[in-house]
Amino acid sequence: MPLKRGRGGGTGPYRKERETIELSTALDQETLAARFGETRALTESLAEPLSAEDQTVQSMPDVSPTKWHRAHTSWFFETFLLAPRLSDYQPFHPAYGFLFNSYYEGVGARHARNERGLLSRPGIDDIASYRRHVNAAMGRLFDDALDEDGLALVELGINHEQQHQELLLMDIKHVLSCNPLDPAYGDLDVPAPSETPPLSWIRHPSGTMEIGHNGSTFSFDNESPRHRVYVRPFAMGRRPVTCGEWLAFIDDGGYHHSDLWLSDGWAAAIAGQWDSPLYWSRVDDEWHIFTLAGSRRLNPAEPVCHLSYYEADAYARWAGARLPTEAEWEVHAAAEAVDGNFLDPHVLHPSPISGDRSSPFGDVWQWTSSAYSPYPGFEPARGTVGEYNGKFMVSQYVLRGGCCATPQGHVRPTYRNFFPPAARWAFSGLRLAKDV
Amino acid sequence: MPLKRGRGGGTGPYRKERETIELSTALDQETLAARFGETRALTESLAEPLSAEDQTVQSMPDVSPTKWHRAHTSWFFETFLLAPRLSDYQPFHPAYGFLFNSYYEGVGARHARNERGLLSRPGIDDIASYRRHVNAAMGRLFDDALDEDGLALVELGINHEQQHQELLLMDIKHVLSCNPLDPAYGDLDVPAPSETPPLSWIRHPSGTMEIGHNGSTFSFDNESPRHRVYVRPFAMGRRPVTCGEWLAFIDDGGYHHSDLWLSDGWAAAIAGQWDSPLYWSRVDDEWHIFTLAGSRRLNPAEPVCHLSYYEADAYARWAGARLPTEAEWEVHAAAEAVDGNFLDPHVLHPSPISGDRSSPFGDVWQWTSSAYSPYPGFEPARGTVGEYNGKFMVSQYVLRGGCCATPQGHVRPTYRNFFPPAARWAFSGLRLAKDV
Amino acid sequence: MPLKRGRGGGTGPYRKERETIELSTALDQETLAARFGETRALTESLAEPLSAEDQTVQSMPDVSPTKWHRAHTSWFFETFLLAPRLSDYQPFHPAYGFLFNSYYEGVGARHARNERGLLSRPGIDDIASYRRHVNAAMGRLFDDALDEDGLALVELGINHEQQHQELLLMDIKHVLSCNPLDPAYGDLDVPAPSETPPLSWIRHPSGTMEIGHNGSTFSFDNESPRHRVYVRPFAMGRRPVTCGEWLAFIDDGGYHHSDLWLSDGWAAAIAGQWDSPLYWSRVDDEWHIFTLAGSRRLNPAEPVCHLSYYEADAYARWAGARLPTEAEWEVHAAAEAVDGNFLDPHVLHPSPISGDRSSPFGDVWQWTSSAYSPYPGFEPARGTVGEYNGKFMVSQYVLRGGCCATPQGHVRPTYRNFFPPAARWAFSGLRLAKDV
Amino acid sequence: MPLKRGRGGGTGPYRKERETIELSTALDQETLAARFGETRALTESLAEPLSAEDQTVQSMPDVSPTKWHRAHTSWFFETFLLAPRLSDYQPFHPAYGFLFNSYYEGVGARHARNERGLLSRPGIDDIASYRRHVNAAMGRLFDDALDEDGLALVELGINHEQQHQELLLMDIKHVLSCNPLDPAYGDLDVPAPSETPPLSWIRHPSGTMEIGHNGSTFSFDNESPRHRVYVRPFAMGRRPVTCGEWLAFIDDGGYHHSDLWLSDGWAAAIAGQWDSPLYWSRVDDEWHIFTLAGSRRLNPAEPVCHLSYYEADAYARWAGARLPTEAEWEVHAAAEAVDGNFLDPHVLHPSPISGDRSSPFGDVWQWTSSAYSPYPGFEPARGTVGEYNGKFMVSQYVLRGGCCATPQGHVRPTYRNFFPPAARWAFSGLRLAKDV
């Protein structure tokens, strides 16, 4: 007999009266309304080069169709702001709450994630109307002053939509990569091959440090609370690992020597017949990579990208180094400006490294050796938005730094991204660390 | 084209000349030889109640047949001690190296793990002969003085066999549980139901602590190096959670409220139709549990057992508490005597809790919230035995304390056991922690 | 090591010099050219109500996207007529041969069937261009006189495209049925519920009969050769089984009594949780069916549709009757006019039965008890088009009669359709037979 | 919501009062009692060379453990004869009815087929006791005169046990083949390689023939009723295809040319990486086969064995011939003595062909091109034993003739064996037919 399961209820004998974690924001309503408009417009401009057919396909369960991202980000504002706060708000369509809820058990039943590609309807025109409907209603909501909680939810919704802008790009890249016609998302800039200087290291002393978010600016709940960690002396690579270095790993048999790999990684590599990062292929004895501009010859100076955790870990072992912990990464990045190659609609690919670039931000997300766990004293945000992060804190690994598909201004030193260790379709690379 | 993969080779550009981690032991050869004999005899006595048929079955890929455990532990001594060190040693059978290698890529090809139950031959008599052959050869090896490395490998082999003694019991419990005849491993002691005092807490202050193994006595490589961690103030439950408390969780809908669960855990609970720990069943409205003595009524005073990480985590959330980190657990246990209910062939089940029992050891392994990761500065043991632990350091969670199937003397405060978060067939329970 | 496999070669020691089976047609070039144009136009008109998104989705491996059907039917003419016969013919796109080959091993590699829904490109506009390109080239081909073989291939291509017209409708019905929005293909006619007369029977004597195609008009190779069969006396139901009769089967526990079912069927019913035909659902205690006009209340007078072989067989057993053999069906139908409810773009659904309708044709394909096997003396057509039918002659069952999605003029008494016994997404119903 | 499903009930509106098909036998009670004893003893002698471990393993879902066969054949007598007919009969164990029911829905719930290998208990000694218990009770049953129906059930049970004798041998061969130790069932006779004469053909005229069982001797219900079929002129190969001939097929690329294969067969060959019959392997460029005496070099004069239907069909196409229909096979065999190489405990393998051997019986079962369907007018036997054959009449193909593991006296010209087209673990070969 299958179980009836639901959300809510269940109060344990020791369950403390939870102090509500108030959401807050340092931004005023005018600023947020402007950012809302910019963010919503950027999403549409990212989808614009894509046909109705492109926006419909789901190439694997982890990928969502473009039009789903456009709808789901609208659903977020509808569900958490418009429905509870705008009197007389009419939902655009009674079934959209079911279709475009991603994973919030607290909001009710939802359409199965792996069946998003079965939905030919609503079509992209319906979804454009849905977005306009939500935008207009948000405009009416902004006509009156929002309370602190409301403003914070707007800021959360903006950051949520920025995350989906990156996902939209990651996902459509995977969709297009499955097509033998070698399609392009758009006609993008492609830098010329260049030279990369040898890797140098930046040393950090040991000590009890603080990591985690503590400021008045926006952060996700998983970045809190700020807390102490003891860090041993270490050195961090000044730049990410490049495609040229990865070629040396391949040529040295990196994908064929079990002693370099975690046991699960070795099994994944055999099962998936991995012999290079995702989107690499050998054509006439030359390595090519599939990009959002289509397939082209590999540029050795680019940061290597589309790695699983297992590959990043194996490479580090081969190189006599290791992955950094997320605490090390954050200590390293804390003093740096958040400056790097983020989402530029003319590029959408990691940029070649030359000279002495040392920013830990941008180009590629960097795998850390840290499992994605709650920080000591972590409390998820109050209410259903508390499902945003906390319930995924198992069997995933933390990545740091943002990438070429991350919207400008979205990341910060304390930002924690996370994926399962076998995932490869994110713009994921690595930066080496070592004991000193 | 499938990849040809092998072990070894591959030297990265930065790969440092690895300082060999010398294995060492504090025990002399005479002591080790005696322990070798005792350990080998205990394995046989644990298998003795089981028929040839019982010893052959593999009930799921994670489980190994009893006779496989008996052979594999012998293979360990043959491979790592006899073959390289005893001149003129004749392996018992040329194919056993293939059949009884568990996961050591460095030793060559091996029989598929999930097909161990397909092997009717060698039969239990052949395996008894194999064990005697290895024992006799080890006797000859002990005739001469072993070097430090050799002695350390003997001690490793003894500890390895002790781990398989526990696995043998876990595994045969699963095998027997699949049989509608409600079979028993043996006629064991069953304590009467009793009262359990309410849970009380032991407080610990904050500070930079040291955890990890540092002594001259045996430990596995994953327990090193000893290192500093910053720990916030916390309290630890004085005893594990009991079956009676778990019943309250069930009755409060614990298995049916998504907000108590990690997302992966909720999916596992639905897919597996979990509504109670493994081996629990409701008969005529009363809960029964399957034990190595067969099925019987649940005793509310026993520590709850056969939980996944997901269930332990959900319970802790329901109870307004949390799982301890492994650092907290070790800080808590460091001062305690390693004293508790370990392997007793007449019991083989967690014992009811009464009075003021506070030892963190024995009865049930306790899930911690810590992902199984390398300690800072970790180096796996040198050579193929370096595959023992390190390559599993991903996607698993640490358990501490030992259980009613763990051989006496096998665990210590720094001991790290680990399982994937969905695993339930170990004797796994939980102890609560909370912030103070 | 995976095998390299290819087509062709391999000549057995006894392999006779196969007499080429010449394709032929009774139609002249002018007639065929006109039919070509009509058929091509009908395909486009069937796709016309569907959006780009609708035409892209593949809802299960058996289903192909609408735009794939439009392209594949063009590929057939391109591959078997234009490329070999029209000098200077330029294929529309070099990759389309790979993308739109369905299953012809003799033509080379092809895109995986279950990944057709991953292709957002070519889009529907590209495919419209492809169709026009092929139509124009066929026009040029028709400028000169074609030989007999060429004319026969044109006729084969027309009949092939007609089959895909039906598949297009079957497939899009399945696609739309997966959408919680209850979408409609179009605004179709829905007849009012009506009365159905009780089932009466038509008796046929025993004897050695002839079945199979023998005329000069078009047929598929699987209908030949005409041959003798001995048929025992039997009676055939005058009309197909209706939804009303099927409700009685459901209400009598038809889906819950194992003794009515074949063993494989019982397993399929349990695994698929079948409790009614495909597309039936109970809403507020009333049965509804999903149609190409969306969901509506069930009309008891309609022929029951979307049955597996297993369900048809179970019903017949429950009714004290049986399925007819294909020989019986053909003997029964031989004397009847090919007149019935075939593809009408305003209907696309089986029509309610009233009065004394007795045509064996139209509305629903009727499962027979005959496995799909070669007729005695069967030879597949010469060349790659010989893959059309013969290689599927295993593990499928024959259906007869055509349905409401079959183009007018496409079927005949000897026509053999076939599906695996668990398939339900065709317009498949049943007609009872019994011994007399 | 999963369906509750059961057996029985459900009476269709047209369901005729079924005339009970009386079972009958031509043998007297004394003869049957003697055969009962011989059959029961033969089963035990076939199991005797196998250890407790051998008898416990289930190597794939289709295979049952030896001890299961020993128990199930006893359960048949207990369920269909002892329980209903012997007053005061005490079932040996209350759970055995659940454990050892194979597929009879009418008898109640049963243990899952694919979990038979999980049952270490009852052990082989318990099962030997069970067999003695049933034998003793049958002895008491034979003390009084049985009615016609009872005698017929005894004969059915004997024939049932004979079928399981063959299954026991097929199954243990598969179990042992999965073991890298190359184990042997026993020390069997191995004939020397010899010459095989070229294939010659026996011609048969066309006509309306009768096939099916009609005599007073035992037959299964699926062999009835005897009925007319029209058969075209054909020729049948005088002997089965040999291993030497099969080598020529392999060497000519038979496994690598798609045009020789049915579409499903080609898919199965690729998925299973078939490049030879089951149990063939190439060792140092020589073909070896695994037999019940272990692995040895292939003898070209032996009938080829362990073929799927797909392979047999592909070979026939390659050879310019075809598989016979079951009607052709029966017409061919009707006049022949049932004389051939059947179960001989010293052989258990097809014997080399030399001279002019032409019996259609023995050595290997021969695939026919006929789907396993009910004969016209077929009625399953009355009651639960009616589940014996009829419910499997879908998606399987008929084999004829018996094999080297079929007990002496078990087959006859009308005997219909059947397996799914991908099955290879039976002793299945082929005999060619062709049109003339």
Give the number of beta-carbon pairs within 8 Å between A and D: 3
pLDDT in tens, D14-40: 444 433 445 678 899 999 999 999 999
pLDDT in tens, A196-232: 889 999 999 999 999 999 888 999 999 999 999 999 9
Indicate the burial class of D372 (C-beta count within 10 angstroms; 0-12, 13-18, 19 or more). Answer: buried
Mean pLDDT of B179-203: 92
CB-based contact, D120 to chain C, within 8 Å:
no
Residues of A in contact with C51 (CB under 8 A): 52, 120-121, 123
- Cβ contact, residue pair B7, A248, below 8 Å: no
Q: Is the dihedral of CA B292, B293, B297, B298 positive or negative?
A: negative
CB-based contact, C2 to chain D, within 8 Å:
yes
Return the ∠ at Cα A118 (arms to A115 and A119), rounded to 5°. Answer: 110
From the list C176, C178, C181, which residue is nearest A95 (CB)?
C181
Nearest to C91 by CA among C78, C110, C103, C80: C78
Residues ≥6 apart with Cβ < 8 Å to B65: B55, B56, B57, B58, B116, B117, B119, B171, B175
Is the pLDDT assigned to residue A9 strictly greater than 50? no
Q: Which CATH superfamily, name and number, covers A201-435?
A: paralog of FGE (formylglycine-generating enzyme) (3.90.1580.10)
Token pair belonging to D364? 């290997």
Mean pLDDT of B229-250: 97
One-character DSSP codes across B331-395: HHHTTS-S-S----TTT-SPPPP-TT---SSSSSEEEEEEE--PPTT--PPSSGGGGTTGGG-SS
Residue B276 in contact with residue B172, Cβ under 8 Å? no
What is the rounded distance in angstroms from the CA atom of residue D402 to the CA atom of residue B230?
A: 76
Mean pLDDT of C224-234: 97
Residues of A in contact with B255 (CB under 8 A): 3, 5
- Cβ contact, residue pair B52, D53, below 8 Å: yes
Tell me the shortest Cα–Cα distance from D338 to chain C, in angstroms: 28
Is the pLDDT assigned to residue B217 strictly greater than 80? yes
Average pLDDT, chain D: 93
Average pLDDT, chain C: 93
Chain A: list its partners (3+ Cβ pairs within 8 Å).
B, C, D
Residues of C in contact with D391 (CB under 8 A): 261-263, 266
Question: Given the structure tokens 């239990």, which residue do they identify?
Answer: B124
Return the ∠ at Cα B286 (arms to B282 and B289), rounded to 5°. Answer: 60
Residue B53 in contact with residue B181, Cβ under 8 Å? no
CB-based contact, B180 to chain D, within 8 Å:
yes
Mean pLDDT of C399-426: 97
Is the pLDDT assigned to residue B21 strictly greater than 50? no
Token pair belonging to C46? 């069937």
End-to-end alpha-carbon separation of chain A, Å? 58
Is the pLDDT assigned to residue A18 strictly greater than 70? no
- Cβ contact, residue pair D15, C229, below 8 Å: no
Tell me the shortest Cα–Cα distance from C397 to chain A, in angstroms: 29
Indicate the burial class of B344 (C-beta count within 10 angstroms; 0-12, 13-18, 19 or more). Answer: middle
Residue type, A152: A
- Cβ contact, residue pair A5, B275, below 8 Å: no
End-to-end alpha-carbon separation of chain B, Å? 57
Q: Residue D259: which pLDDT band, with cuts at 50, 70 and 90? A: very high
Task: Tally Cβ neighbours within 10 Å of residue B85.
Answer: 15
From the list A57, A122, A123, which residue is nearest C120 (CB)?
A57
Return the ∠ at Cα B123 (arms to B117 and B126), rounded to 5°. Answer: 135
CB-based contact, B181 to chain D, within 8 Å:
yes
Is the pLDDT assigned to residue C237 strictly greater than 50? yes
CB-based contact, C2 to chain B, within 8 Å:
yes
pLDDT in tens, D367-394: 999 999 999 999 887 777 778 888 999 9
CB-based contact, D259 to chain C, within 8 Å:
yes
Collapsed DSSP state (helix, strand, coil) of residue A115: helix
ipTM above 0.85, yes or no: yes
pLDDT in tens, D39-67: 999 999 999 999 999 999 999 999 999 99
CB-based contact, D3 to chain A, within 8 Å:
no
- Cβ contact, residue pair D262, C392, below 8 Å: yes
**Looking at residue B416, what DSSP letter applies?**
-
- What does the pLDDT read at residue C22? 54
- What does the pLDDT read at residue D275? 97
Interface test with A, best of B107, B201, B258 (most A CBs within 10 A): B258
- What does the pLDDT read at residue A192? 87
- Cβ contact, residue pair B5, A255, below 8 Å: yes
Give the number of beta-carbon pairs within 8 Å between B and D: 96
What residues does CATH 3.90.1580.10 cover in chain D? 201-435
Residue D59 in contact with residue D178, Cβ under 8 Å? yes
CB-based contact, C4 to chain B, within 8 Å:
no
Residues of C in contact with B1 (CB under 8 A): 2
Residues of C in contact with A56 (CB under 8 A): 52-53, 56-57, 120
- What does the pLDDT read at residue C21? 43
Residue type, D417: N
Q: Residue C179: which pLDDT band, with cuts at 50, 70 and 90? A: very high
DSSP lists the bridge partners of residue D237 as D201
Tell me the shortest Cα–Cα distance from A1 to chain D, in angstroms: 8
Domain C12-177: give its CATH code.
Answer: 1.20.120
Collapsed DSSP state (helix, strand, coil) of residue D115: helix
CB-based contact, B60 to chain D, within 8 Å:
no
What residue of C is the nearest CA neighbor of A93?
C181
Q: Residue C10: which pLDDT band, with cuts at 50, 70 and 90? A: very low
Average pLDDT, chain B: 93
DSSP lists the bridge partners of residue A433 as A236, A322
Mean pLDDT of B261-283: 97
Residue B431 in contact with residue B239, Cβ under 8 Å? yes
The model carries a pTM of 0.95
Mean pLDDT of B26-41: 96
Mean pLDDT of D363-370: 98
For A15-147, where are the alpha helices, taking DSSP H only?
A: 29-47, 66-77, 83-85, 96-100, 124-143
**Looking at residue B152, what DSSP letter applies?**
H
Collapsed DSSP state (helix, strand, coil) of residue A76: helix
Chain D: list its partners (3+ Cβ pairs within 8 Å).
A, B, C
What is the rounded distance in angstroms from the CA atom of residue D265 to the CA atom of residue D245?
A: 20
Residues of D in contact with B273 (CB under 8 A): none
What residues does CATH 1.20.120 cover in chain D? 12-177
Residues of C in contact with D265 (CB under 8 A): 394
CB-based contact, C56 to chain A, within 8 Å:
yes
What residue of A is the nearest CA neighbor of D3?
A1
Is the pLDDT assigned to residue D174 strictly greater than 50? yes
What is the rounded distance in angstroms from the CA atom of residue A280 to the CA atom of residue A287?
A: 7
- What does the pLDDT read at residue C358? 77
Is the pLDDT assigned to residue A47 strictly greater than 80? yes
Indicate the burial class of C364 (C-beta count within 10 angstroms; 0-12, 13-18, 19 or more). Answer: buried
From the list D51, D120, D122, which residue is nearest B120 (CB)?
D51
Longest Cα–Cα distance of chain B, Å, equals 67
What's phi and psi for B150, nearest 5 deg? -65, -45
How many residues does the structure list for chain B? 436
Residue D399 in contact with residue D366, Cβ under 8 Å? yes
- Cβ contact, residue pair D95, B54, below 8 Å: no
Strand boundaries in D232-349, DSSP class E: 234-237, 280-283, 286-291, 294-297
What is the rounded distance in angstroms from the CA atom of residue A54 to the CA atom of residue D223?
A: 58
Tell me the shortest Cα–Cα distance from B40 to chain C, in angstroms: 42
Nearest to A316 by CA among C75, C350, B374, C326: B374
Burial C309-346 (b: 16+ CB within 10 A, else e): bbbbbbbbbbbbbbbbbbbbbbbbbeeeebebbbbeee
Our measurement of the distance from residue B206's CA atom to the centroid of its chain's CA atoms, rounded to an integer in Å, reads: 30
Residues of C in contact with A67 (CB under 8 A): 53
Is the pLDDT assigned to residue B103 strictly greater than 90? no
- Cβ contact, residue pair D124, B55, below 8 Å: no
Residues of C in contact with A176 (CB under 8 A): 120
What residue of A is the nearest CA neighbor of D1?
A2
Nearest to C227 by CA among C212, C207, C205: C212
- Cβ contact, residue pair B11, A229, below 8 Å: no
pLDDT in tens, C97-112: 999 998 888 888 899 9
- Cβ contact, residue pair C119, A179, below 8 Å: yes
Tell me the shortest Cα–Cα distance from B202 to chain C, in angstroms: 52
Q: How many CA atoms lie within 13 A of A160 on its CB side?
A: 22
CB-based contact, C230 to chain D, within 8 Å:
yes
Q: Strand D428-429 to strand D365-371: parallel, antiparallel, or no bridges (unpaired)?
A: parallel
- What does the pLDDT read at residue C192? 87
pLDDT in tens, A111-153: 999 999 999 999 999 999 999 999 999 999 999 999 999 999 9
pLDDT in tens, B310-366: 999 999 999 999 999 999 999 999 989 999 999 999 999 999 998 777 789 999 999
Give the number of beta-carbon pairs within 8 Å between B and C: 3
Return the ∠ at Cα D349 (arms to D345 and D354), rounded to 5°. Answer: 120
